[in-house]
Amino acid sequence: MIIDSAAFERYRRSPNRKTTLLRLLMGTGIVVVLWLAVTLVVLVAGTYAFIVLRLPGPATGQPIQDFLASPVGILTALASFAGIWIGLWAAMRFVHGEPLAALIGADRRISRGGFLKGLIAVLVTSLFSEVLLYLLQPEIARGSIAFSSWLLSLVAIVPLAFLQTSSEEALFRGYLLRGLASRFGSPLIWAVLPGLLFTALHWSPASSLAINACVLVSIAAFALLLTLLVYATGNLGAAFGAHLGNNLTGFLLISHQQGYNSFALFNAKPLEGPGWTNWDAALIAAIGIASTLLTMLLLLHRRSPLKVEPVDPRSGGLS
């Protein structure tokens, strides 16, 4: 696979002169502070409402954990990612003097074709990986949510999942990648550093070292894919779609985390639970990498019907 870098070169040259390393650090600090502030407000207010209004959910005697594992808690946790978008708007507006849309691509519009291709490709390969995971651990049970309720939940879950995934892409593959790429030529800086930060944030204290290692390896591979999509298209559209497809599978189809199974049709053995061996962890990592490689072929191979195309600023983001 040979990727034309012309679209990415337009994207990396799009920041103005105010995108210095110091301003990039300042802007990142603003995003982090506002993200944490919104998350704190949501956590405190949501937990209070969960207790006072006696909303449906677990009752283990740990109010915060019970709230976050409840249906309302999952929705509000997703909504807290609005803090990233607010922080990015503030950073772009007051630190860099650019519109927020500049992070999307050189044409400042989401590639709708890229978004749909990324979404479809990851939904397909996620099903492939779920089949392999089932062969590894066939401990899958029907979730507690009724199918009619599941259909209704799509109205809330899909847009909130998009809010979450798009905010992460705008920060890690947009703000940080674009800003660093405008200052440094080496992908070891503009690609690897944001990818490592994104991967590290997925560490789970509840999981064993082996499971954490396998999950982080899988996420690092997926982060590489998302970076390649931005490099190939010069736009965040395909990365938006791919990330959304990945998370929707876990939220709505088969949950592998006990804290996120309220809306899933099926619940697999939780990764944070006991009973996983080092060999299981190695196989899980291998499945994650294989799924990501298959997604790369679907989205980047020249003969694939889902191949993403570079975004031409004259096309209005329709590629």
Cβ contacts of 61 within 8 Å, gap of 6 or more: none
If asked whether residues 219 and 85 sit together in one domain, one would say no
In whole angstroms, give the CA distance from residue 62 to residue 211: 25
Instruction: Give 192: exposed, middle or buried? Use CB within 10 Å, 0-12, 13-18, 19+.
Output: middle
The pLDDT of residue 313 is: 65
Domain boundary among 97, 119, 147: 97
Question: Final residue of a domain: which of 77, 97, 117?
Answer: 97
Other CB atoms within a 10 A radius of the CB of residue 40 amount to 12
For the chain, the domain total comes to 2
Residue 7 lies in a domain: no
Query: What's the gap between Cα 66 and its chain centre?
Result: 24
Is 6 within the bounds of a domain? no
Compute the Cα dihedral for 210, 211, 214, 219 and give only its sign.
Answer: negative
Segment 257-276 mean pLDDT: 85
The residue range of the domain holding 310 is 108-315
Could you list the beta-strand ranges (E) of the chain.
140-142, 254-255, 266-268
CA distance 56 to 44: 17
pLDDT (0 to 100) of residue 271? 87
Residues near 58 by Cβ (< 8 Å), separated by ≥ 6?
Answer: 65, 66, 69, 70
Per-residue model confidence (pLDDT) at position 53: 76
Q: CB-based burial of residue 71 (10 Å sphere; 0-12 exposed, 13-18 middle, 19+ buried)?
A: middle
Do 142 and 193 reside in the same domain of the chain? Answer: yes
Domain end residue (candidates: 97, 125, 148)? 97
pLDDT digits 0-9 by tens, 80-134:
999 999 999 999 999 999 999 999 999 999 999 999 999 999 999 999 999 999 8
The pLDDT, as a whole number, for residue 188 is 93
Pull the structure tokens for residue 226.
Answer: 């998302």
**79 shares a domain with 223:** no
Does residue 297 lie in a domain region? yes
Separation of alpha carbons 23 and 10, rounded Å: 21
pLDDT digits (tens, 9 = 90+) for 300-316: 999 999 999 998 766 55
Same domain, 237 and 279: yes
Residues 116 and 242 in one domain: yes
* Close Cβ partners of 201 (under 8 Å, ≥ 6 residues apart): none
Average pLDDT on 68-89 reads: 91
Q: What was the pLDDT predicted at 221?
A: 96
Question: Taking CA 169 as the corner, what is the angle to CA 165 and CA 174, rounded to the nearest 5 degrees?
Answer: 160
Same domain, 81 and 128: no
> pLDDT of 182-228, one tens digit each?
999 999 999 999 999 999 998 888 788 989 999 999 999 999 999 99
pLDDT of residue 72 exceeding 70, the answer is: yes
Whether 277 is covered by a domain: the verdict is yes
> Is 304 in the same domain as 226?
yes
- Residue 102: inside a domain: no
Does pTM top 0.95 for this prediction?
Answer: no
Interatomic CA distance for residues 272 and 119, integer angstroms? 27
pLDDT number for residue 1: 67
